DNA sequence: GACTGTTTAAAACAGAGGTTTCAACTGTCA
DNA sequence: TGACAGTTGAAACCTCTGTTTTAAACAGTC
């Protein structure tokens, strides 16, 4: 059934997955054609439909390949944090770190692979707009529910509604920065330095942590 | 040259612009075909190339149509705020309001048009990734420079670099929420209520204002 | 009414997209 | 060897894309 040993010569299926990941990250899901992918992977066009069934399912496969381990790690980190605080509320900063760090740790390759993967995850959150393959949706919902609950315990002074929206705001910062981080660096060339991915994500967490702790109704009292 | 009176019967050019705006907002720039647009507008396919020259230029026209007045209003509001504070630094909240309020005020129509326009602007910031038509790019750059400067004066304790990044983070929240706000409401159906656009944007400003005032290096001192 | 320039309509164009077909080629098992 | 499931390669299929062409309809003006 499966090839099994994938040491010496990588299988076609695997090569397609890797090529697709890079191209999707670089240009987007809908713009990249199957011929782009297969020519980069050194495979035939028909191979995609043979191995995956359709382009849409290839996209799903690429998403699933990374989303599953990252989400698992997120839940694990949140578990650890909750144990560390022994049932008490986990600080917002640690919750956000549990959300973002697995993304970073999942990156093992060099500079270029970092950029690609970041853009890919950014697109996943941004371009596809929370629409996920069915195979990973339950896991995503479970994760979202876990993080939502943890955040509500972390900022009990906020209404459930407000906490939820601020969680979404944080996702927005992350998605947008992951996707356009490279462009932003070029735009602000020199002025905004050239922070590493790690530093950048730490700044995101600083920003969002403070955002979460904003007073509940500051806009009401003082126009 | 121009039609001039556009009261009784809207011209083809105008109908195409409106149809395009709605469809672009709903589905994205690259996915919508000219035939989608023209059939909705009740016009012929060739009309697009006749009136605009190409699809790309049609996109530019749609962008320009809204971006220009909104950006002008943004600058004007920032001017007013700066006069109000007589040369002193303008509070972050007011700067962010000057950035977002023109977007809201530009919306005059009903519920549906609000959603469409919000999504459109969201896509403009998100999907096209800071890549703008040449005709409006100078104005955007001028605006970005103005807001950047104002924010640096508002939070002088931050390095120029950090202030710039936090400005980008704020853009990210805005873009993401504008684009996916509708989806988010559905996802969190009931739990997250159904805030109006105005309330939602006020919450964004609360969040980002607090994010801007986060300490410069909180991640360093306490791991 | 014939001559302008402008606008619309229908059809055709060339190209690219995802998908399918089918023959050729692997390897394994009998 | 032969049979057979699994896999690949080249080509074709059909649809849809943006664009162009061509001719007809329209508004004015002399």
Which residue ranges make up each domain of chain B? 10-53, 65-214
Q: Are A219 and B211 inside 8 Å of each other by CB?
A: no
Task: Report the top-level CATH class of B65-214.
Answer: mainly alpha
Position A200 scores a pLDDT of 86
Just give the CATH number of A66-214: 1.10.357.10
Residues of A in contact with B215 (CB under 8 A): 206, 210
- pLDDT interval class at A141 (50, 70, 90): confident
Domain made up of A10-53: CATH architecture: Orthogonal Bundle (1.10)
Question: CA nearest B192 in A: which residue?
Answer: A161
Please tell me if the domain spanning B10-53 has the same topology as the one spanning B65-214.
Answer: no
Position A69 scores a pLDDT of 86
Are B174 and B110 spatial neighbours (Cβ–Cβ below 8 Å)?
Answer: no
Position A97 scores a pLDDT of 95
Q: Is the CB of A48 under 7 A from strand C?
A: yes
Q: What's phi and psi for A114, nearest 5 deg?
A: -60, -50
Residue A78 has pLDDT above 80, yes or no: yes
Helix axes B160-187, A197-212, angle to 10 degrees: 60
- Using CB atoms, pick whichever of B127, B164, B187 lies closest to residue A130: B187
Q: DSSP secondary structure string, B55-78?
A: HHHHHHHHHHHHHHHHHHHHHHHH
| Cα–Cα distance, B57 to A147 (Å, whole number) | 43
Are A178 and A70 spatial neighbours (Cβ–Cβ below 8 Å)?
Answer: no
pLDDT in tens, B143-193: 989 999 999 999 999 998 899 999 989 988 988 887 777 777 766 666 656
The arithmetic mean of pLDDT across residues A148-175, rounded, is 92
CA distance B56 to chain A (A): 15
**b/e map of A16-36 (b: 16 or more CB within 10 Å)?**
bbebbbbbbbeebbeebebee
């Amino acid at each position: 059934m499966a090839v099994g040993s994938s040491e010496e010569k990588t299988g076609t299926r695997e090569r397609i997955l890797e090529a697709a990941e890079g191209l999707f990250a670089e240009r987007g899901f809908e713009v990249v054609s199957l011929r782009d992918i297969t020519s980069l992977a050194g495979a035939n066009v028909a191979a995609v439909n043979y191995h995956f069934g359709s382009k849409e399912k290839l996209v799903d496969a690429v998403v699933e390949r990374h989303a599953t381990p990252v989400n698992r790690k997120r839940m694990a980190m949140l578990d650890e944090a909750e144990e560390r605080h022994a049932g008490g509320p986990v600080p917002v900063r640690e919750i956000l770190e549990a959300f973002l760090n697995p993304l970073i740790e999942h990156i093992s390759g060099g500079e270029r692979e970092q950029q690609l993967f970041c853009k890919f995850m950014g697109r996943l959150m941004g371009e596809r707009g929370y629409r996920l393959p069915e195979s990973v949706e339950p896991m995503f919902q479970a994760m979202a529910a876990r993080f939502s609950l943890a955040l509500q315990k972390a900022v009990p002074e906020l209404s459930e509604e407000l906490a939820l929206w601020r969680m979404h705001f944080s996702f927005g910062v992350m998605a947008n920065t992951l996707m356009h981080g490279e462009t932003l660096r070029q735009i602000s060339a020199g002025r905004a330095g050239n922070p590493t991915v790690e530093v950048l994500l730490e700044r995101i967490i600083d920003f969002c942590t403070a955002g979460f702790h904003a007073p509940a109704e500051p806009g009401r009292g003082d126009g």
